[in-house]
Amino acid sequence: MNKDEKIKRFEGNYKKNGFVVVELENEVVGFCRYANSNEFTHNMQDIDCEITALYVKTDLKYNGIGTKLFQFVVNEFKSQSKSKIILWCLKDNEPSKKFYTKMGGKIIKERVIEIGEKSYCEVGFMYNI
């Protein structure tokens, strides 16, 4: 696969789902990817939307960027009459778990995912909006 094919595949995926970025001085310093369904968490029918990635550049954490991204996505979901968000986080990622709890999430489930030949435990945070 050449570089252009990878770029197209990602572009198509971002059009299907939501993707928002934060820029400072023309540099992307954070992003959030989200889905208007539970397509990544099939076995939880009461969940109707999902945050699939939230990232802030390491040296800019604790400046409100993650909070703004999170709130932007919650408002998007509210405008679509969504009611329950799921967000998965690695179980050992204590700083992120602290942030997701601060944003009002409650851990409701654990799961194991496979990436390559390794297994990782994730916890699912649910948000009522």
Where along the chain do its domains lie? 3-128
- At 8 the pLDDT is 44
- At 16 the pLDDT is 60
The span from the CA of 49 to the CA of 17, in Å, is: 10
- At 12 the pLDDT is 56
Instruction: Give the residues of the chain that fall short of pLDDT 50.
Output: 1-2, 5-10
- At 128 the pLDDT is 96
Check whether domain 3-128 has CATH 3.40.630.30, yes or no: yes
Q: What predicted TM-score, i.e. pTM, was given to this entire model?
A: 0.83
